[in-house]
């Protein structure tokens, strides 16, 4: 599967999961030679095809594609500041957007949440946190940004973060919650390879 095909598959998966909210959201991946593949503006993520994915230059100008783009500046800055950031996702996911308004870290309230709590960052700029190693980044009141060394890795981090936000919100203030202990969190934490494998299983 080409990078364009992977991006389109990730977007359609996000649409199926209910992450679409108008034209909000930015998903991108490196195309080599300082260029990037970017999701198109004005095309539903639930119906996007590989041919819809747009190629832009290092300045964010469209060089190939039949659609315009919208709001690539944040992704571009992260791509350029962190060489390992091959792919980046940011969508206005329902639970992630709510959780990010609390300005608090996700807790390992269950093993699904444990997949990403060790990868998260908050309290700084996206670039600063990414440089510190965070791959699931909370933006205050603006949801998650995830990045990875492949489309599948970045995409599954977003899916896992949204699931973790859902569990954290559901259990917020509930007495008797038993968090996953730190040693088990370490065992459950996603690796790039495992995240990529999870994503591939969904789009095969």
How do residues 77-118 score in pLDDT, each as one tens digit? 999 999 999 999 999 999 999 999 999 999 999 999 999 999
Q: How far is CA 4 from the centre of its chain?
A: 16
Q: Which residues contact 91 (CB under 8 A, 6 or more apart)?
A: 14, 19, 20, 21, 24, 25, 26, 27, 45, 143, 158
Q: Measure the CA dihedral 108/84/124/154, to 10°.
A: -40
Q: What gap in Å lies between CA 63 and CA 36, rounded to an integer?
A: 10
Q: What percent of the chain has pLDDT over 90?
A: 91
pLDDT of residue 1: 86
The band of 126, judged by pLDDT with boundaries at 50, 70 and 90, is very high
Q: Which residues pair with 62 in a beta bridge?
A: 56
**Is the pLDDT at 204 greater than 70, yes or no?**
no
Q: Are 115 and 123 in contact (CB under 8 A)?
A: no
DSSP code, position 163: H
Whether the Cβ atoms of residue 122 and residue 138 lie closer than 8 Å to each other: yes
pTM: predicted TM-score of the whole model, two decimal places: 0.96
| pLDDT the model gives residue 109 | 97
pLDDT tens per residue, range 141-178 = 999 999 999 999 999 999 999 999 999 999 999 999 99
* pLDDT at residue 22, as a whole number: 84
CA distance 73 to 104: 26
DSSP string covering 126-146, please?
Answer: HHHHHHTT-SEEEPTTS-EEE
Alpha helices by DSSP H, listed for 93-191, are 94-100, 111-114, 126-131, 151-171, 182-188
Region for residue 18 given its phi and psi (left: phi exceeds 0; alpha: psi -120 to 50; beta: otherwise)? left
- pLDDT tens track for 15-74: 999 999 988 889 999 998 899 999 999 999 999 999 999 999 999 999 998 999 988 999
57 C-beta neighbours (distance < 10 Å), count = 15
Domains annotated for the chain, with CATH where assigned, are 3-203 (3.40.225.10)
């Amino acid at each position: 599967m080409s990078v364009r095909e992977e991006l389109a598959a990730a977007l359609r998966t996000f649409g199926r999961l209910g992450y679409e909210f108008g034209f909000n959201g930015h998903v991108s991946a490196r195309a080599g030679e300082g260029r990037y593949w970017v999701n198109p503006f004005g095309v539903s993520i639930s119906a996007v095809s590989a041919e819809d994915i747009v190629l832009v230059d290092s300045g964010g100008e469209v060089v190939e594609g039949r659609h315009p783009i919208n709001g690539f500046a944040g992704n571009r800055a992260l791509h350029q500041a962190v060489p390992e950031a091959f792919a980046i996702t940011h969508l206005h996911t329902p639970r992630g957007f709510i959780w990010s308004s609390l300005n608090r870290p996700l807790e390992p309230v269950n093993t699904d949440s444990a997949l990403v709590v060790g990868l998260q960052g908050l309290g700084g700029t996206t670039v600063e946190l990414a440089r510190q190693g965070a791959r699931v980044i909370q933006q205050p009141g603006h949801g998650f940004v995830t990045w990875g060394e492949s489309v599948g890795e970045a995409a599954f981090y977003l899916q896992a973060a949204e699931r973790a936000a859902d569990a954290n919100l559901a259990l917020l203030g509930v007495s008797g919650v038993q968090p996953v202990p730190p040693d088990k969190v370490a065992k459950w934490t996603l690796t790039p390879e495992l995240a990529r494998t999870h994503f591939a299983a969904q789009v095969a």
